[in-house]
Structure 1
Amino acid sequence: MNRYRNSLRGRMRSRLSLLALVVVLPAVLWALLPLGSLAATRDQQLSRLNDKIATTQSKVDKKKGTESVLTTQVQAWQSKINKIQGRIDTLQSRQDRIQQGLDREQASLDRIQRDLRKQRRRQVQLKARLAEGRRVLSQRLFELYRADAPTLITVVLDSKGFAELLERGEFLKRIGDQDQRVITLVRTARVEATLNANRLGKLEKRQGAITASIKKKRDAVASIKGQLVSTRSGFDETKQRKANVLANVKADRRQLEGALSKMRETQARIEGILNGGPLAGPIRRGSGSMIWPVNGPITSPFCERRSWESCHPGIDIGVGSGTPIRAADSGTVAVASMNGGYGNFTCVQHSASLSTCYAHQSRYAVHVGQNVSKGQVIGYVGCTGLCFGDHLHFEVRVNGQVTNPLNYL
């Protein structure tokens, strides 16, 4: 076991020695290179780096183009969704109104159904009364037949039906008052039964019509609304797919921009070395919430009176050309463009009211809309615009008005 451990330790020492050789040897060889060879190597590195920066910038630009197209498509689908949702809302309002009408129709239908039940019970009662009247009358006729003359038999036999028999005056004259009441009852029951049957038929017809109307309206609105909801669901799915692709493209673009920013920092360091310019150096912090964008002395203080301006709107910090400029605080790039006497000019928005601005840059390292963190390189010192020597002009603005930067550094 000890032999195995010793062997393992030996292999580990050999691998660590080899790793140290791999890491240290290039640095040693780099230091031993002649200055001319070192400069040539750095030129080659810078050339390759510039190619990578150009390629990456091209990818970023393509991503931005894709973002723009997808954003337009997502907005278009959202517009379609809003329109169809408007139609759904209109149909919902219509459906609510129909439902109110249906409630009224249902109340009327309930009344009709109660009346129908009442009339049906009455119809049963009338039929029973009519049947009883006919039974009593038939019995009475039978008794009259057994007790009376042939003339009454002739009247009965000559009648074509029970109704005609009740209407014949001769028959009515031959029967007594009690029989008269029976006949009147039968006649009234028959008339009421006929009228009630007609009324019942009308009520049943109206009930069927109202029920059909209710069902038709309800089904029509439900069908249209269902189609619209289905269409909106399809729109939502398409929009979400586009939004997911857009989110992925944005993530890729931010990753590329992060790599691009690091490459530009490396580019600035190499150019600074080749041009003999200074590096960014350590971050300088004061008592304020912001860091100094560059390390250097103030060559022109805030609100200094000069021949061409009554109040210098910022501070000038004296540093060499190519010095990396750091963002004084985190925020979003609001401006990155040539601006008259400011030259190459960048402003970073930190809040709704607070921003910082950096002028006379030799070139930019960020673009408008990019989010930057405190200390991130956003550009490089130069002398563009109205300038008499390399320096950084730095401003702090509150609600668009300049204020003394030293209150924040």
Structure 2
Amino acid sequence: MVRNKVLSKFIAILVLCAVAFGCLLSAPSTQVQAASSYDDLVDEKKRLEEEKKKIDQALKEAQGKVDDQKAVQTQISYQIQNIQNQISVLSSQINTLEGQISQKNQEIEEMQARIDENYDLFKKRLRAMYMADDATVLSVLFGSSTFAEFLSAAETTQRVADHDDKLIKEMTAQKQQIEADKAEIEASKQQIEASKAEVMAKNQELNTALSQSQDTLDELKALEKKTQKDRDQIAADLEAADREIEEWLKQNQSTDTPLSPGGWLWPVSGHYRISDGYGWRDLYGKQQFHKGIDIPCGLNTPIRASKGGTVIRANTSSSYGNIVIIDHGGGYSTVYAHNNSLNVVYGQTVNQGDVIAYAGNTGDSYGVHCHFEVRVNGVVTNPLQYVVAAG
């Protein structure tokens, strides 16, 4: 009986030990699961950031190609303008030559009319002389009272015949010269028309190239628009990932013993100027809420823990850059952003004043500084309610 009681007590002790051991095992399991969930969120954010880098590069390339194609269009348009100016000049030259040809045609017609008129008169005189009998001609010659008059009459008759012949020959030569001038002008016109035809063909070729360039530009703009849309989407996904991480941090911060506001350490020793304060601010013409204070300092200036606690985030953010978040208990946490490098890891316990990072200019930052936030139960509050810029 006693033996049974002893055995029963021994079994009960074993059961209690097993339960206790199970409890010891179950507690770390929850912590590992939580850490795993956080790591998954961070990994997903890293994946999104890598994807964003690729999309940013693709967008940059697309924008570059659009700019290049616009430059091509500008060059083609410039060439077309030059070609059109050449066409205008050549057309003007052709019009001038056509006017000269028309003038030469008129001169040829007038000269031919004069030749025909004089030739008709010449033929009439010859015919009259031919039709007249020899006695008439002889009477003219031998009717002279003196030999001198006879010679004068004969000379006059010959002079009339010579004049008619010379006049017709001169007019014929003038007509031939005019026709030669006209032929020369027509040859020049043909050359200019050939040049104009070449220029017109070049103009057509350039207009075709411009049309093809516009088609290419339209395709590139469509690609640019799609890539920009993809970038906007990935940026929205990154913001959502940031919110999920912040929500995880908010839910997993310890909330045991409340912490009094006193006893906080300024995070950047020797640097007490605030370049950008907490609250609403105008940034590039847009209102934006600044969640903390910015403390400018030199590159790799040590950044110290404002209070002791546990590191609940030590990684990279697209906006915060290299970031450290410390959970101080009681719902309080501090954020140290834009660091050049980190000196702590996730889950590490730190004491007040420990160097947790080195100042930098990473993430969405414009100059080396420490972006410092104080959060209460995950909600940002004015850091100057807790720290004093005097060390």
User: For the superposition of Structure 1 and Structure 2, which TM-score range results when normalised by the shorter chain?
Assistant: 0.5 to 0.7
Residue 327 of structure 2, aligned match among 358, 368, 381: 381
Answering whether residue 96 of structure 2 is matched by residue 114 of structure 1, we say no
- Which amino acid in 2 is paired with 1:389? Q
Name the SS for the 1:208 alignment partner: helix
Contact kept? 1:81, 1:232, Cα under 8 Å: no
Provide the rounded CA distance (Å) in 2 between the counterparts of 1:120 and 1:214: 24
Q: 1:247 to 1:184 in 2, by over 3 A?
A: same
Answering whether residue 96 of structure 2 is matched by residue 135 of structure 1, we say no
Answering whether residue 319 of structure 2 is matched by residue 370 of structure 1, we say yes
Partner residue of 2:140? none
Q: Show CA shifts across 1:26-45 (max 9, x none).
A: xxxxxxxxxx99xx799769
Q: Show CA shifts across 1:285-307 (max 9, x none).
A: xxxxxxxxxx9624257699xxx
Provide the rounded CA distance (Å) in 1 between the counterparts of 2:201 and 2:174: 40
Using the TM superposition, give the Cα deviation of residue 219 of structure 1 relative to its aligned residue in structure 2, in angstroms.
2.5
Partner residue of 1:281? none
Provide the rounded CA distance (Å) in 1 between the counterparts of 2:302 and 2:371: 19
- Which amino acid in 2 is paired with 1:216? E
Cα RMSD, aligned residues only: 5.5
Partner residue of 1:167? none
- Which amino acid in 2 is paired with 1:264? I
Alignment of 1:152-301 (within 5 A): 175-224=157-206, 226-227=208-209, 229-273=210-254, 276=256, 297-300=261-264
Using the TM superposition, give the Cα deviation of residue 116 of structure 1 relative to its aligned residue in structure 2, in angstroms.
1.6
Name the SS for the 1:126 alignment partner: helix
Between Structure 1 and Structure 2, how many residues are aligned?
A: 298
Provide the rounded CA distance (Å) in 2 between the counterparts of 1:263 and 1:401: 26
Name the SS for the 2:311 alignment partner: strand
Q: Show CA shifts across 1:180-217 (max 9, x none).
A: 44333322221111221121122112112102202312
Using the TM superposition, give the Cα deviation of residue 368 of structure 1 relative to its aligned residue in structure 2, in angstroms.
4.0
Provide the rounded CA distance (Å) in 2 between the counterparts of 1:258 and 1:398: 20
Contact kept? 1:365, 1:379, Cα under 8 Å: yes
Q: 1:119 to 1:87 in 2, by over 3 A?
A: same
Name the SS for the 2:172 alignment partner: helix
Using the TM superposition, give the Cα deviation of residue 254 of structure 1 relative to its aligned residue in structure 2, in angstroms.
3.1
Provide the rounded CA distance (Å) in 2 between the counterparts of 1:300 and 1:344: 9
Name the SS for the 1:141 alignment partner: helix
Rg (Cα) greater in structure? 2
Residue 110 of structure 2, aligned match among 113, 125, 134: 125
- Which amino acid in 2 is paired with 1:125? E
- Which amino acid in 1 is paired with 2:238? E
Partner residue of 2:290? 329
Contact kept? 2:122, 2:164, Cα under 8 Å: yes
- Which amino acid in 2 is paired with 1:147? A
Q: Show CA shifts across 1:240-278 (max 9, x none).
A: 3332332333333233333323332332243225x7476
TM-score of the superposed pair, with normalisation by structure 2: 0.56
Q: 1:236 to 1:42 in 2, by over 3 A?
A: farther
Q: Show CA shifts across 1:365-405 (max 9, x none).
A: 98544389xxxx99443698596339999x9x997579997
Partner residue of 1:18? none
Provide the rounded CA distance (Å) in 1 between the counterparts of 2:237 and 2:189: 73
Provide the rounded CA distance (Å) in 1 between the counterparts of 2:83 and 2:256: 84
Q: Show CA shifts across 1:297-328 (max 9, x none).
A: 24257699xxxx6x36489xxxxxxxxxxx97
Provide the rounded CA distance (Å) in 1 between the counterparts of 2:215 and 2:310: 51
Using the TM superposition, give the Cα deviation of residue 329 of structure 1 relative to its aligned residue in structure 2, in angstroms.
0.9
Name the SS for the 1:342 alignment partner: strand
Q: 1:298 to 1:48 in 2, by over 3 A?
A: closer
Q: 1:143 to 1:272 in 2, by over 3 A?
A: same
* Structure 1 gap segments, 5+ residues each: 1-35, 153-171, 279-294, 316-326, 346-357
Q: Indicate the percent of aligned positions where both proteins have the same amino acid.
A: 11
Contact kept? 1:102, 1:214, Cα under 8 Å: yes
Provide the rounded CA distance (Å) in 2 between the counterparts of 1:359 and 1:220: 78
Q: 1:364 to 1:113 in 2, by over 3 A?
A: farther
Alignment of 1:299-378 (within 5 A): 299-300=263-264, 311=270, 313=272, 329=290, 341-342=302-303, 362-364=311-313, 367-370=316-319
Provide the rounded CA distance (Å) in 2 between the counterparts of 1:57 and 1:388: 25
- Which amino acid in 2 is paired with 1:238? E
Name the SS for the 1:362 alignment partner: strand
Name the SS for the 2:351 alignment partner: coil
